[in-house]
Amino acid sequence: MLRTFCFFLLFSCSSLIASEEAHDPRPKIRFKMEVAENELASLDLKRENIYSSMVTKLVQNQIFVHESEKNPMLVLRLKTIEVSGDQTVGFVQLAFFEEAELKRNKSTIWAMTWSQGTLLTAAKRDFAAQASKTLDLMIASFATEFHKAFVIIE
């Protein structure tokens, strides 16, 4: 009896959460990282920490991450090279992709509709901090533009 009740309660809660997500008017995006593991390791960074930090920053800017194929996608790209002993040069980009329809044949593609990128040069020990500051500015800029385009009317 208790098992049946627990299963029913779990099923009911799952259904309620799914129903709330379906009717939640807040704008949602997917978030993807294009970063080579070996580059992260050389900078003593972890993918999970970067992902968690980025999602937190997006939520603080009222942009919610929900991994659904129907949501537009924000991509973080990071590419680094070590130039000399302690110097690292890196390219950091945030790019936003939305579904778009081509006029010529009415096909649907993912199109980049917003992007910011920058080159960073820093000592290896300072690169993560510099990249984090840069991403804070990029997310703030993205959030401003995102909220202009995705206005919620209640």
CATH number at residue 34: 3.30.160
Number of structural domains found in the chain: 1
Does residue 81 form part of some domain? yes
Query: Would you give the DSSP letter of residue 52?
Result: H
pLDDT given at position 20: 47
Instruction: Tell me the residue range of the domain where 75 lies.
Output: 26-149
Considering only CA atoms, which of 137, 6, 27 is closest in space to residue 71? Answer: 27
Low-confidence ranges of the chain (pLDDT < 50): 1-20
pLDDT given at position 25: 73
Task: Centre a 10 Å sphere on the Cβ of residue 139 and count the other Cβ atoms it contains.
Answer: 21
Does residue 93 form part of some domain? yes
pLDDT given at position 22: 56
Q: Which two tokens stand for residue 74?
A: 């924000």
pLDDT given at position 60: 93
pLDDT given at position 17: 41
Cβ contacts of 67 within 8 Å, gap of 6 or more: 30, 31
Task: Centre a 10 Å sphere on the Cβ of residue 29 and count the other Cβ atoms it contains.
Answer: 22
